[in-house]
């Protein structure tokens, strides 16, 4: 007990001062949390919700942001080539950096990170892992991570798996995300191991093989009969649903209880369909390699919430990159704070993810103690340039997912045509379906001039890529024929 108390004090002092947090201290907290849950049972739902809804004192929150921003910006200016050169060119005084003069540091574009990845690496860090983004939204970006960063993030994730997602020793988590998401996969596997939860990495394989895996009894004492938790991205979840309904699977073949989704836009229709078919609660989270380990958590009211201790979250006007007003569209701009991020250091990283800005005083949800935006609307770089309107990925996906003949994992493209767009769909579309889509688009106020169906998705102009396309080949044996097939 004394050891635990000392670790908690040391952890608190490190967080408050911005010094290195000992991953072993956080790991010890995970061990104690597991022991507490084993002895006393689950966290009280009412008490947990009350704690999450309790707003942090505004003065304390502001001081946390101020200290985190100042330490991180000063570290970037002194230890990275990119920000050292930038601050010298702009005449930025590191000792004068505050949130009041935040605009003294220009937002960082992904293009800058892609073109000069090594210049963002801190000379004080110990790089251990070189990771790239998946590349579905552009040329992959390179980020470096230290063992310290990865271990610390995994320990905090383990606490979240236990306290927020309520995962327990008897669960089996199946991870169906791309192996290219190496940081996320490494963090998930290590965090689940620390939390005492069994896991298996399946990847983005042929959906039928993934469904077969999810439907098979485990046969291990102390574990649930079948996989109980699925971690995946929305487009692959859609592919699983499409395949299950078209094949020999039914709802009774699965015993999933939770589906954790992230990495793409999750439509309300897809969430509803997944919950209905699998009988599992679907929850949504937000994260990206460039701003790791910052995360966003969706609430039941459709907000995306961020904690203020691990980094600074801004919502800026996509065109002027100045603060966006409540009710308007903003792009998420994020700064991971030291000591949570120390190797590839980014300040005011323009994520490219668009959201609607919310009035923070009127959230009224179970996570209202945390700052929030709307759920992601889509990627700024993938939005077509049309004269009069904005049209978002979420708009198109909600439209398409509302038509059962169209696969949930459908590919599509948006072709600008003056003040309107032509919507290309990677699925055969008979005239009655096209008529319904065009009528519904008009009803929703979307500037869709025409809908065109494509039997061959590769013929779609301006095609939007999704993560379900990052298919990993596996060998499948046909016992009756004695042959193998690569799928």
pLDDT of residue 470: 84
Q: Helices 268-278 and 393-401: crossing angle, nearest 10°?
A: 40
Sign of the Cα torsion 461, 467, 470, 473 reads negative
pLDDT tens digits for 8-46?
667 767 676 677 888 898 999 899 889 888 887 776 655
Q: Are 462 and 415 in contact (CB under 8 A)?
A: yes
Distance between start and end Cα atoms, the chain: 53
From residue 280, alpha-carbon distances to 33, 227, 228, 258, 339 in Å are: 25, 12, 9, 5, 36
∠31-34-36 over CA atoms, to 5°? 110
Tokens 């949570």 map to which residue?
340
In which residue ranges of the chain is pLDDT below 50?
A: 387-388
Element (H, E) at 475: strand 475-478
∠312-315-319 over CA atoms, to 5°? 130
> Rounded to an integer, what distance in angstroms lies between the CA atom of residue 31 and that of residue 53?
26
pLDDT of residue 122: 97
Tokens found for residue 180: 């290219």
> Rounded to an integer, what distance in angstroms lies between the CA atom of residue 487 and that of residue 475?
6
Q: Which of 161, 275, 171 is nearest to 227 (CA)?
A: 171
- Produce one character per residue of 327-342: b if its CB has 16 or more CB atoms within 10 Å, e if not: eebbbbbbbbbbbbbb
> Rounded to an integer, what distance in angstroms lies between the CA atom of residue 345 and that of residue 75?
9
> Rounded to an integer, what distance in angstroms lies between the CA atom of residue 144 and that of residue 89?
25
- Cβ atoms within 10 A of the Cβ of 185, count? 18
> DSSP alpha helices (H): ranges in 164-233?
182-194, 207-215
pLDDT tens digits for 114-126?
999 999 999 999 9
How many helices (H) does the chain have, and how many strands (E)?
13, 20
Q: What is the DSSP letter of 365?
A: S
pTM: 0.92
By DSSP bridging, strand 420-425 and strand 412-417 are: antiparallel
Tokens found for residue 300: 């039941």
């Amino acid at each position: 007990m004394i050891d635990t108390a000392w670790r908690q004090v040391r952890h608190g002092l490190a967080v408050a001062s911005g010094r290195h947090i000992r991953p072993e201290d956080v790991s010890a907290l995970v061990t104690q949390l597991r022991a507490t849950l084993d002895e006393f049972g689950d966290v009280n739902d009412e008490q947990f919700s009350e704690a999450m809804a309790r707003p942090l004192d505004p003065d304390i929150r502001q001081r946390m942001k101020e200290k985190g921003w100042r330490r991180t910006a000063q570290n970037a200016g002194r230890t990275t080539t990119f920000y050292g050169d930038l601050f010298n060119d702009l005449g930025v005084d590191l000792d004068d950096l505050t949130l009041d003069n935040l605009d003294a540091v220009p937002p960082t574009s992904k293009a800058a990170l892609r073109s000069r990845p090594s210049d963002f690496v801190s000379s004080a860090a110990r790089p251990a892992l070189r990771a790239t983004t998946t590349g579905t939204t552009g040329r992959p970006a390179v980020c470096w991570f230290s063992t310290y960063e990865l271990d610390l993030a995994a320990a905090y994730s383990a606490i979240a798996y236990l306290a927020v997602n309520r995962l327990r020793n008897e669960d089996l988590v199946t991870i169906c995300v791309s192996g290219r998401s190496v940081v996320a996969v490494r963090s998930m596997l290590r965090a689940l191991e620390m939390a005492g939860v069994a896991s298996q990495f399946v990847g983005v394989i042929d959906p039928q093989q993934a469904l077969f895996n999810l439907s098979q009894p485990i046969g291990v004492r102390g574990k649930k009969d079948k996989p109980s938790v699925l971690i995946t991205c929305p487009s692959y979840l859609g592919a699983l649903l499409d395949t299950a309904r078209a094949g020999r699977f039914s709802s009774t073949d699965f015993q999933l209880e939770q589906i954790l989704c992230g990495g793409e836009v999750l439509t309300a229709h897809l969430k509803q369909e997944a919950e209905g078919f699998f009988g599992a609660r679907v929850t949504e989270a937000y994260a990206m390699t460039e701003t790791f380990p910052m995360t966003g958590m969706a609430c039941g009211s459709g907000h995306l919430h961020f904690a203020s201790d691990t980094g600074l979250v801004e919502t800026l006007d996509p065109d002027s990159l100045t603060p966006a007003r409540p009710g308007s569209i903003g792009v998420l701009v994020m700064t991971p704070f030291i000591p949570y991020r120390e190797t590839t250091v980014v300040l005011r990283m323009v994520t490219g993810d668009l959201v609607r800005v919310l009035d923070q005083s009127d959230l009224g949800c179970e996570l209202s103690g945390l700052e929030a935006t709307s759920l992601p609307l889509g990627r700024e770089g993938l939005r077509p340039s049309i004269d009069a309107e904005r049209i978002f990925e979420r708009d198109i996906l909600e439209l398409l997912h509302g038509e059962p003949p169209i696969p949930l994992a459908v590919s599509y493209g948006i072709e600008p045509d003056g003040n309107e767009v032509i919507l290309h769909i990677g699925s055969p579309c008979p005239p009655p379906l096209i008529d319904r889509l065009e009528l519904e688009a008009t009803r929703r106020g979307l500037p869709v001039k025409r809908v065109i169906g494509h039997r061959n998705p590769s013929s779609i102009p301006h095609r939007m890529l999704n993560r379900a396309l990052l298919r990993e080949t596996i060998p499948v044996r046909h016992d009756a024929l004695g042959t193998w097939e690569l799928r």
